[in-house]
Amino acid sequence: MHSSLDPMWGAVLDGIKFDVVAQSLVITFQVTDHSRVSHHRLDFEELSELRFSNAIPGPWNYAELTEFHVDRAASGTIQVEIVLWSEDARLVASARSVELDGEPVTWQTNNKMG
């Protein structure tokens, strides 16, 4: 499965803002490609789930967003799973709308765009 988040693999986390009242989540991060650094923003609106699990000792000096996986949940929401370092740490969020830098996140499953 491929998504518009694939080029973000290996990013470094800058920050997370979770607003319970607005039911929103914003994740900011940076990607370094050779010597060029680009900054990005992942917005979740109408957030319905937010889960963090971790079995890696900390605290960490920084967090790497090692992998991003996108899919549509049975409820119709978009689910994004972010692997932090390894399968032992992850952040999972589901929302009605997910945008990367102002553009809807897309993914491909069985030759169909999500």
Indicate if the pLDDT at residue 111 is higher than 50.
no
pLDDT tens by residue, 49-95: 999 999 999 899 999 999 999 999 888 999 999 999 999 999 999 99
Give Cβ neighbours of residue 16 (< 8 Å, ≥ 6 apart): 25, 26, 27, 28
Q: Average pLDDT of the chain?
A: 93
Q: Cβ(96)–Cβ(105) under 8 Å?
A: no
Q: Cβ(104)–Cβ(36) under 8 Å?
A: no
Q: Which residue has the tokens 């789930």?
A: 49
Helix (H, G, I), strand (E, B) or coil at 7: helix
For residues 105 and 68, what is the distance between their CA atoms, to the nearest angstrom? Answer: 11
pLDDT band at 29 (very low <50, low <70, confident <90, very high): very high
